[in-house]
Structure 1
Amino acid sequence: MVLALVVGCGAGLGAIAFRWLIETFTHLLSGHADYSDAGHAPHPEAPWLGPWFVVLAPVVGGLLYGPLVQRFAREARGHGVPEVMYAVAHRGGRIAPQVAVVKALASALCMGSGGSVGREGPIVQIGSALGSTVGGVLRIPEDRRRLLVACGAAGGIAATFNAPLAGVFFAMELILRDFAVESFGAVVLSSVTASVIGRAVLGDEAFLTLPPFHVDHLAQYGLFAVLGVVAGAVGVAFTRVLYLVEDACDWAWRGPEWLRPGAGGLLLGGLLLALPQMYGVGYPVLENAIEGRYALGFLVLLLVGKIVATSLTIGVGGSGGVFAPSLFLGAMAGTAFGVSAHQLLPAVAGAVGAYGLVGMGAAFAGAARAPITAVIVLFELTGQYSIILPMMLAIVLATLTGRLLSRDTIYTLKLRRRGIDLDGARLTSPLSAATVREVMDGPPATLAGTMPLADAADILARSRHGALPVRSREGRYLGVVTARAVAEALTEPEPALEMQTTPRVVADLAERLPAVTADAPLAGAMHSLVAADAAGLPVLERGSGEPVGWLTHQTVLGTLHGAVPAGPVEPATTHRGPAPG
């Protein structure tokens, strides 16, 4: 809890610094607080360039952050969240400390110079790197380090968007992918701490200021349901185009990677010259659309333009998130749907802006398949509780649509393209398909039941198993004798040797350990091996009950590491008398 509090403080301060960097670079490179709402205005410091300066702004930004990312932290390229998911699932929560600084600078430069990306990916990676660094400095166990990574992600989201609940559920649903009670408390504490710090500096207002919306007719729920399906499909289309453009950029670029953002900035600059509303995040444009200030055709143009602009920004090596662009796309698709519905059903459709607001959450849910996060995010970003029911309906349908149309989300697809399957790692194991026969050692030497204990002690001392099977004079399997049992019998006090119950031969100490059959699944045999008070267990053939092998902890560990050890097999020699001196 103390460490969660520390990480929350750091994430809150990091979010404030990150917001300041974005505002500074945006004003420096565009001359405006948000150029997406400035039309084709020239840069105040270079009026002689006219609106053409937007062609150069992405180039300048790319030439600055391209070498920075290539030299110090290549994982800072792209939208960031998949890298954090991979670190939590496969690297014990280890993230390089320099990622926080490099990601903050690179993303702020990218957005400030016109990159059409969002803040959530960078702040998640920044906060997560901070949590990982705290865990690494204090050398805490991996499970706690993963939790601190999630605490950092939650704190960053909470402080940046003034959305403490959204930060919690984003971290639990997308980063940890788990809702364990012990994790929930730490993540909540970090999110609340970061949010308090953020509100103290950035204010305590909803991130988006929109007019109130209401559902005025029951038939509107049917329209919102259709919108959920449409917006979910838009989210999947955005995912597909994003990675298609990235593949195209990989195929086309043949120069050094550090130069790629600068060269690709020319393409992005040309798009910004034609459609300046794509500059940066574009929240003012989103608000204008929901308030009904754009015609249907222009809404569709903004929808297509945002998909291309964001995909191009990421494809050329830019740094920024895809959460805000997915909200933008949902707002455009939802508002366009609302305009169409109002034209067809003017007496039923209701306010156009309500469809834009619901579309925001539905598009994100379709792309990320995180319905809980989508509902909470939309409520906290807009403060619109009055349409929570149609919002939940549309988001659930958008999530189902996304699942039907695509196996992966916008975050997991990036990892799958690298050969990493997060869901498969959670559901499969090297033990899932193996049988005991595939990993067992050969049968060890067998002791005769009539062998004196002193002779058996010598053989057990030379055996690597610490226990050996025992057979009767007729060759029947009696059980197993352990080195510890023989040693304890040989060290009995002298008076006890006169008692009839004192063990004198190996058969007197033979015991039936929980045996496993050769064709049994290895995963099930693990339970017997762990419960047994022995170094290994005999493997019996089903039906005959004869020992055919030996299962040890070492053989199982070898399977878990992907290499089943053959191991030296002791000769299956049957001792029927005293061992030779």
Structure 2
Amino acid sequence: MPKNTIHRLLSPLLLWRLRHVNDRVYLIVVSILVGIVAGLAAVLLKTSVHSSQELLYSWVPEQYRVFALSFYPIIGVALTVLFTRYVLGGNLSRGIGPVIYNIARQGSIVPRSKLYSQLVTSFLTVTFGGSAGLEAPISVTGSAIGSNTARVLRIGRRERRLLTGCGAAAGVAAIFNSPIAGVLFAVEVILSELSAAYFVPLLISSATATVVSKALYAGQPFVLITTSWPVEAVPFYLMLALFTALLSVYMIRVYFWADKFFERQRGTFRKVLLGGLALGLLVFIFPPLYGEGYNIVQLLLGGHASQLVDGSLFSVYRDDSVWLVLLVAAGSMLLKVAATTITIGAGGNGGMFGSSLFAGALCGFIFARLINLSGLYPISEVHFIVLGMAGTLAGVVHAPLTGIFLIAEITGGYAMFVPLMVVTSVSYLITRYFEPYSVYTRKLVQRGVYVHQDRDRGLLAQLDLFQLVQTDFQPVRPTDTLGELVNTFRHATRNVFPVVDAEGHLHGVVTLDTVRDALFDDEHYTTTRVRDLMIDPPAVVRPDDTITDTLRCMEELGAPALPVVNGHDRYVGFILKSTILANYRRQLIKESEV
């Protein structure tokens, strides 16, 4: 239905609302609506993926299953690429990073295509064994639901931002049946700052989605009943935090290294073939890498770690050796991030959220099993498995509160709150020391989009530097004479003149102050050239410079304006400090509007 038609049909309802329903109540009602729709989307995705996986699994005889599991992923990635190219026009925008960008730079306007694109592509990828999680796609879908609901209902900019967060919170809450974790995920990852009054719509949306999920689908994947934890184990909690922090740093760095590798590859179907074969090989050697991996976590929590070897090449040597199990666990833990990145880089869709939980569970298991084998102190492997999940999630996503409450809610381990706080906080702090930005925000920061820094920096980051460039500065040639320069001065409105050659390259600048004495030297009007009078600018702004860096440079140099060049070092114009500050003020007013 066309957008104008929708607005025309809704106009009487919106007018009635303005007369009879106050803004706060209306926002709560809309947040409930967003929670219902996002919850239904999460249930649809989870149910369809799990049902389809069981169907694919049952088709293949057991003796050929390992070969099928190695071949399925390339089919899923290929189908995802075909859908992306021929239905979405090649534009998928994977992951949560683009949504954070939509909020930071585009007024929380999430493209309508994300209402369905993330669901379909993640379904195709993960159903066929793509080694990635469904949390990011459903979170993006929820954000799109919230954003576009606000647009259709003509809700203001700030409320649209809130409803975008409500959708993300509802999606995560519905997947795990964990409403508090959904809210905290939205606050820590999606929204850079939040007024305390806005927690109510977030809580309501998240709780609504959880109710929908509970009613239609048992979305809570893990169950753990525990009543206490030993104080004597605190040193081991700290040691585990260190290991999960190192694992988090490793995962972030490998993720972006592999991401750059795939960006350098040319040809869509070459990526599909290369990535599909690599992923198939990894799954063939380490079958736990197939799909999300939550079934493996459930095996660990159930005390069935020996089944990690089932279906792998190592099963032919199986003699119930604990070292063989640890070898498969360690290989799967270290290669999970590679499998996820290959899945995404080859053209599939998924996220690092579930992969972090998977790798963290294996990390906790390996650590606990080694401590128990050493005889130092008997510790609960189940406790350390869930603590490893929380610590790794906190490090990779930079969301310690989400890690604490998610694990507490989905495992029923509220008695583990203190160990959870110890492991997640230490893991987060150590990871952030080595990797200041999360797996979701690092690429955005490289593009100059600061989303979780101070408010001033965040507002500046929303400005587009090249849109602020002033192009009314009169350029002069290096070969122009002093007389020609004087004639240019007579008709100019600026007192700075860029010196540009015929190819458009910037050679320097001429200002009235630097040539004031020469202006009165009539004898040299025909012999003195502009190249003899020009000076180097204090600095030059290039395409990869951010607004924040440019403003800082101006402050340090005391320069009111700096020349700007493009990627080919050709002159574009000047950026003025006054222009930056004026646009910053307008952005501040816009953000403060109710």
Give the TM-score normalised by structure 1. 0.68
**Once the 2 structures are TM-superposed, how far is the Cα of residue 309 of structure 1 from its aligned partner?**
1.3
Q: Specify every segment of 5 or more residues in structure 1 that has no aligned partner in the other structure, as ranges.
A: 33-42, 432-438, 440-521, 523-553, 565-581
- Which of the numbers 103, 114, 117 marks the counterpart of 1:99? 114
Q: Percent identity?
A: 29
Where does residue 537 of structure 2 map in the other structure?
none
Where does residue 297 of structure 2 map in the other structure?
286
- Would the aligned equivalents of 1:213 and 1:353 in 2 still touch at CA under 8 Å? no
Rounded to whole Å, the distance in 1 between the matches of 2:348 and 2:460 is 38
Where does residue 422 of structure 2 map in the other structure?
393
Secondary structure in structure 2 of the residue aligned to 1:387: helix
Secondary structure in structure 1 of the residue aligned to 2:159: helix
- Would the aligned equivalents of 1:335 and 1:356 in 2 still touch at CA under 8 Å? yes
**Once the 2 structures are TM-superposed, how far is the Cα of residue 339 of structure 1 from its aligned partner?**
1.3
**Once the 2 structures are TM-superposed, how far is the Cα of residue 246 of structure 1 from its aligned partner?**
1.4
Give the TM-score normalised by structure 2. 0.67
Rounded to whole Å, the distance in 2 between the matches of 1:351 and 1:24 is 33
Q: What letter matches 2:359 in structure 1?
A: L
CA separation of 1:231 and 1:127: change in aligned 2, threshold 3 A = same
Where does residue 207 of structure 1 map in the other structure?
221
**1:15 and 2:42 correspond:** yes
**1:247 and 2:260 correspond:** yes
Where does residue 160 of structure 2 map in the other structure?
145
Rounded to whole Å, the distance in 2 between the matches of 1:331 and 1:47 is 27
What are the Cα deviations for residues 537-572 of structure 1, in whole angstroms up to 9, with x where unaligned?
xxxxxxxxxxxxxxxxx99666433899xxxxxxxx
- Would the aligned equivalents of 2:78 and 2:347 in 1 still touch at CA under 8 Å? no
Mapping for residues 92-491 of structure 1, pairs under 5 Å:
92-203=107-218, 206-210=220-224, 212=226, 214-216=228-230, 218-251=231-264, 253-255=265-267, 257=268, 260-261=271-272, 263-292=274-303, 293-294=305-306, 295=322, 296-346=326-376, 348-423=377-452, 426-428=455-457
What are the Cα deviations for residues 441-476 of structure 1, in whole angstroms up to 9, with x where unaligned?
xxxxxxxxxxxxxxxxxxxxxxxxxxxxxxxxxxxx
Rounded to whole Å, the distance in 2 between the matches of 1:132 and 1:181 is 20
Cα RMSD between the aligned structures?
2.7
Rounded to whole Å, the distance in 2 between the matches of 1:406 and 1:132 is 30
Rounded to whole Å, the distance in 2 between the matches of 1:27 and 1:176 is 36
Where does residue 316 of structure 2 map in the other structure?
none
- Which of the numbers 47, 53, 59 marks the counterpart of 1:26? 53
Rounded to whole Å, the distance in 2 between the matches of 1:420 and 1:290 is 40
- Would the aligned equivalents of 1:155 and 1:195 in 2 still touch at CA under 8 Å? yes
Name the stretch that deviates more: 92-101 or 420-429: 420-429
What are the Cα deviations for residues 351-405 of structure 1, in whole angstroms up to 9, with x where unaligned?
1221111111001111122111110101011111222211111111001111111
**Once the 2 structures are TM-superposed, how far is the Cα of residue 178 of structure 1 from its aligned partner?**
2.3
**Once the 2 structures are TM-superposed, how far is the Cα of residue 424 of structure 1 from its aligned partner?**
5.1
What are the Cα deviations for residues 292-330 of structure 1, in whole angstroms up to 9, with x where unaligned?
424332321221231221121122222112111101111
Rounded to whole Å, the distance in 1 between the matches of 2:102 and 2:175 is 22
**Once the 2 structures are TM-superposed, how far is the Cα of residue 124 of structure 1 from its aligned partner?**
0.4
CA separation of 1:430 and 1:265: change in aligned 2, threshold 3 A = closer
- Would the aligned equivalents of 1:228 and 1:362 in 2 still touch at CA under 8 Å? yes
- Would the aligned equivalents of 2:262 and 2:271 in 1 still touch at CA under 8 Å? no
- Would the aligned equivalents of 2:174 and 2:212 in 1 still touch at CA under 8 Å? yes
Where does residue 92 of structure 2 map in the other structure?
76
Where does residue 449 of structure 1 map in the other structure?
none
Secondary structure in structure 2 of the residue aligned to 1:147: helix
**Once the 2 structures are TM-superposed, how far is the Cα of residue 233 of structure 1 from its aligned partner?**
1.4
Secondary structure in structure 2 of the residue aligned to 1:561: helix
Rounded to whole Å, the distance in 2 between the matches of 1:272 and 1:190 is 38
Secondary structure in structure 1 of the residue aligned to 2:449: coil
Q: What letter matches 1:254 in structure 2?
A: R
**Once the 2 structures are TM-superposed, how far is the Cα of residue 138 of structure 1 from its aligned partner?**
2.0
CA separation of 1:160 and 1:74: change in aligned 2, threshold 3 A = farther
- Would the aligned equivalents of 2:42 and 2:138 in 1 still touch at CA under 8 Å? yes
- Would the aligned equivalents of 1:77 and 1:319 in 2 still touch at CA under 8 Å? no
What are the Cα deviations for residues 58-110 of structure 1, in whole angstroms up to 9, with x where unaligned?
222122111222341756353x2111111111111111111121110100110
Q: What letter matches 1:199 in structure 2?
A: K
**1:561 and 2:583 correspond:** yes
**1:53 and 2:68 correspond:** yes
Rounded to whole Å, the distance in 2 between the matches of 1:299 and 1:153 is 32
- Would the aligned equivalents of 1:70 and 1:258 in 2 still touch at CA under 8 Å? no
**Once the 2 structures are TM-superposed, how far is the Cα of residue 112 of structure 1 from its aligned partner?**
0.7
Q: What letter matches 2:67 in structure 1?
A: W
**Once the 2 structures are TM-superposed, how far is the Cα of residue 120 of structure 1 from its aligned partner?**
1.0
Rounded to whole Å, the distance in 1 between the matches of 2:348 and 2:454 is 29
Where does residue 310 of structure 2 map in the other structure?
none
Larger gyration radius, structure 1 or structure 2: 1
Rounded to whole Å, the distance in 2 between the matches of 1:174 and 1:341 is 34
CA separation of 1:247 and 1:557: change in aligned 2, threshold 3 A = closer
- Would the aligned equivalents of 1:362 and 1:398 in 2 still touch at CA under 8 Å? yes
Rounded to whole Å, the distance in 1 between the matches of 2:84 and 2:168 is 21
Rounded to whole Å, the distance in 2 between the matches of 1:430 and 1:26 is 46
Rounded to whole Å, the distance in 1 between the matches of 2:455 and 2:423 is 29
**Once the 2 structures are TM-superposed, how far is the Cα of residue 17 of structure 1 from its aligned partner?**
1.3
**Once the 2 structures are TM-superposed, how far is the Cα of residue 184 of structure 1 from its aligned partner?**
0.6
What are the Cα deviations for residues 256-302 of structure 1, in whole angstroms up to 9, with x where unaligned?
x3663355212211221222211111112112234442433232122
**Once the 2 structures are TM-superposed, how far is the Cα of residue 8 of structure 1 from its aligned partner?**
0.9
Secondary structure in structure 2 of the residue aligned to 1:178: coil
Rounded to whole Å, the distance in 2 between the matches of 1:21 and 1:291 is 25
Rounded to whole Å, the distance in 2 between the matches of 1:420 and 1:202 is 38
Secondary structure in structure 1 of the residue aligned to 2:415: coil
- Would the aligned equivalents of 2:99 and 2:143 in 1 still touch at CA under 8 Å? yes
